[in-house]
Amino acid sequence: MGFWKRFIRRANRRRSAFLTLLSSYIAIFLLPVMIGAVVYDKVEGIMVENASRSNKAMLEQVRLAVDNRMSEVEKLAVQISLNPKLQWLLDSKDYGDSQELYKFIEFMKDLARYGTVSSSINNFYVYFANTDTVLTPSMRTNSRMYYNEISGYKDVSYDAYREQVLEGYHLRSILPSAALRNDARVVTYAQSLPLGERTAPKGTLIILVDEKQIRDLLEQIEWVNSGSIYILNEDRDIVMTTASDDELSARLKSRLNTGQDYLSYVNDAGREMMVTYTSSADNGWTYVSVVPKNIVLAKVMTVKSWAVSLVLVCLLGGAVASYSMAYKNYRPIREVVNALVQGRSMPRDRSSNEYDFIKQSIASSIAEERRLQRTISKQAPVIQADFLSRLVRGHVDASSITDEDLRFMGVSFLSDRFCVVLVDVDDGKRFMREDSEKEWALVRFVVGNLGGELLGEAGHSIEMERNRVLFLISLPEREPETSAYLSDFVRQLRELLDGRFLTQVTLAISRVHRGLGKIAEGYGEAILALDYKLIKGHHSIIYYDDLAELELGHYHYPTAVEAQLMNYVKSGDFENAETALNQIYEVNFHAGGLTPEMGKCLFFDLVSTYFKLAATLGPAETPFGEPDPAKWVSGGATAEEMFRRTKALFRQLCERMDSERPRPGDQLYQRIQRYVEAHVPDGNLGLNAIADHFGMNPAYLSSFFKKHCGENVSDYIARVRVSESKKLLRDTDWTLAEIAEKVGYAGSVGLIRVFKKLEGITPGQYRANLENEERITVLKNR
């Protein structure tokens, strides 16, 4: 009694979810035999149905793939059949004239272009009946030679081929798979020419489809099901199969297309087979999968054995096992409920069971997802963006646009007075995480969305290029307010983008135009104004009206200034060269009146000066890794950027000029080196001897040598003597005393001390190491 009381108390705490689980297990415990019988009765049908669905799904994939391949063949056939040169060639009876031969060649070129339509096409050619001519993308010959020498069927005679394939009427005919003489198997597609001619065709288009590519698709599904695949045409003839025999039971063919999902039949070997099939609406082909039924039902017997075992376990387990399993399976449900309660941050209604709570949570999530989908679908349609883009570019006939058309596309304007504002993103690196299309799309969205909020119904944003957004603004009819309205908009937009989104932009504003047909003119004015960013620089606001007040002039770069700049560069004096460049820039760009085109010409002239000077130095590595300095300079978006790159070129050139000028001290240093190398055996060789030889003060010579060499004279002499002793140790068998005498030491002790100081080992150890290396080399060569 105590057990059942505790049982009832726990059941009440767990409410209906636990009770539902417990009652389910008790029912299984009480009715195991009945459930086992029902399960076994249903399993076979479910397994067969699942296998049929799986086969049909895979057949549908194969059908779609094959239909796509055959659709490519149909497209190729239509392209060739409708070629205007084909009709002329079909009517012609004599191809001896050069003009007619030229038409053949032109048609062959067309065929060669068509040949790239599909990779599944093995070959194709056109047969002209009037002259018994076969024309391929690469050759022209008669039908007998082509069939016998180039591409003929393996087991078909020429006469049969001519009668069945070339002659007679074909309307998208698909012939069964056949092997060519090179053992490649193809499916033949035949179409009589010209199209629509039934009584007296003048030619035939033959397309050979590579069977191997279609077979590869079929063999994939065949491997899964361990069965066979057949492809039948509209006449129930086998076009292709993966089976070892090419026959399919006539009785089975008659049962196809009866509306059933699958069929069962016993083959000639007495084996029961399961048949799944599907048909193509494009070409009428039927795809048939034939699988041994015992393979499908192999798992049914295993399920039956497990069912009997489970019945015995249920009988032995009893009520205790039912309670334990119910509690065990209730725990995941409880954890799911707790997770939902924590995730939704709201208490659970204890009056409802766990299943109702989970159901309500799922329904709430689905409703939220649908709400989000509706929000997304309310975004501006693509057709609106496309229309506005073509409108501003002048690709729309504005006179034909009606109010109904604008309403249909969701476009509305406050008036017929328009202004175009172009926003060019100069620098968005601080906002973008990386230079990718995704980040640029986000920048364009921010610009367009922010401008749209400022304009409201008065404007539309259009994404023009990667870093450019256009605003088409419909202005109020009151003209005095126009200038202030535009000024406030562009100022606020620039400040918000710079302050909140760390993005710098340049804005170009056109004049105000009236009518849809003038919008394209305003777009052209905004583009022209944006070109003046080269002069105005980044992060500027440019009005087209302001450009009309500029006085067009010429840039100032006289010959005398160029000569002065060249002299500074030749002397390697970049400080004065930079001053001259700054004066040229100030005179031309800060004085005003210089157009972007003239500014570019000035920079091209400066780069020309650079090339003149660089030519005097001979070839060298390209500056800053740029193969074309002129292109690198002109790639600057603004005049300031182009000027910075120009100065960098001249700085590099000045450094080259300075480094390549000859130095008087280099020649003396080289003479001292040669003197030391020639007097190594002289024991008196030293600083004083060298100074006496060159007639110089020893202190000055020591300072001069260390400045050029980086070490004093005595260290250099010691290094040269050690280098010479190493050669003698390697090439002779002289004693250390003899070698010391040859390199200017009075005895071997001095040589050993200096040698170990510089090389880290004694001369004897050095010679021993050389001998060991020689022995190792000899052993390796053996």
> In this predicted structure, what is the pLDDT of residue 592?
56
pLDDT at residue 620 tops 80: no
Contact status, residue 209 vs residue 121, Cβ threshold 8 Å = yes
In angstroms and rounded to an integer, the radius of gyration of the C-alpha atoms of the chain is 46
User: What pLDDT digit, counting tens, does each position of 530-548 carry?
Assistant: 877 777 777 788 888 877 6
10, HSE (Cβ side, Cα atoms, 13 Å) = 13
Contact status, residue 482 vs residue 512, Cβ threshold 8 Å = yes
pLDDT at residue 718 tops 70: yes
Q: Is the dihedral of CA 554, 556, 558, 562 positive or negative?
A: negative
pLDDT tier for residue 14 given thresholds of 50, 70 and 90: very low
User: What pLDDT digit, counting tens, does each position of 365-382 carry?
Assistant: 888 878 766 665 565 567
Residues 6+ apart with CB under 8 A from 242: 215, 218, 219, 222, 228, 229
User: What pLDDT digit, counting tens, does each position of 129-166 carry?
Assistant: 888 888 888 888 888 888 888 888 887 888 888 888 88
User: What pLDDT digit, counting tens, does each position of 165-201 carry?
Assistant: 888 788 888 888 888 877 788 888 888 888 877 777 8
Strand order in the sheet with 140-142: 140-142, 133-135, 121-128, 203-210, 185-193, 173-179
Q: How far is CA 599 from CA 138, 633, 647, in A?
A: 56, 12, 16
Report which of residues 691 and 640 the model is more confident about. 691
CA distance 762 to 756: 5
CA distance 573 to 293: 94
Can you tell me the mean pLDDT for 60-87? 80
pTM, two decimals, is 0.37
Average pLDDT, the chain: 77
55 backbone dihedrals φ, ψ, rounded to 5°: -60, -40
pLDDT tier for residue 44 given thresholds of 50, 70 and 90: low
> In this predicted structure, what is the pLDDT of residue 97?
65
Contact status, residue 472 vs residue 462, Cβ threshold 8 Å = yes
Task: Quote the Cα angle for 386-514-420, to 5°.
Answer: 50
Nearest to 177 by CA among 227, 241, 123, 236: 241
Q: How far is CA 240 from CA 55, 139, 380, in A?
A: 18, 30, 50
Nearest to 77 by CA among 174, 177, 186, 218: 174
> In this predicted structure, what is the pLDDT of residue 252?
65
SS (H, E, C) 388-402: HHHHHCCCCCHHHCC
Across 37-41, 492-496, 511-515, 754-758, least confident range: 37-41
Can you tell me the mean pLDDT for 651-662? 73
User: What pLDDT digit, counting tens, does each position of 548-588 carry?
Assistant: 665 556 677 777 677 777 777 776 777 878 887 877 777 67
175 backbone dihedrals φ, ψ, rounded to 5°: -90, 150
Token pair of 574 as six digits? 């970049």
Nearest to 355 by CA among 19, 6, 7: 19
Token pair of 58 as six digits? 């895979």
CA distance 279 to 233: 10
> In this predicted structure, what is the pLDDT of residue 426?
83
> In this predicted structure, what is the pLDDT of residue 572?
73
User: What pLDDT digit, counting tens, does each position of 731-782 carry?
Assistant: 888 888 888 888 888 888 888 888 888 888 888 888 888 888 777 766 656 5
pLDDT at residue 235 tops 60: yes
Nearest to 319 by CA among 754, 22, 682, 653: 22
pLDDT tier for residue 459 given thresholds of 50, 70 and 90: confident
CA distance 358 to 345: 15
Token pair of 93 as six digits? 């009876």
Token pair of 515 as six digits? 């009518």
Residues across the chain: 782
> In this predicted structure, what is the pLDDT of residue 36?
63
Token pair of 356 as six digits? 């109702």
CA distance 237 to 246: 10
Q: What percent of the chain has pLDDT over 70?
A: 77
517, HSE (Cβ side, Cα atoms, 13 Å) = 6
CA distance 745 to 418: 98
> In this predicted structure, what is the pLDDT of residue 770?
82
285 backbone dihedrals φ, ψ, rounded to 5°: -75, 150
pLDDT at residue 682 tops 70: yes
Q: How far is CA 674 from CA 667, 668, 720, in A?
A: 11, 10, 11
Residue 470's Cβ-count burial label (10 Å; 0-12, 13-18, 19+) is buried
Does residue 274 sit in helix, strand or coil?
Answer: strand
Strands (E), 295-401: none
Nearest to 326 by CA among 657, 563, 20: 20
Contact status, residue 650 vs residue 664, Cβ threshold 8 Å = no
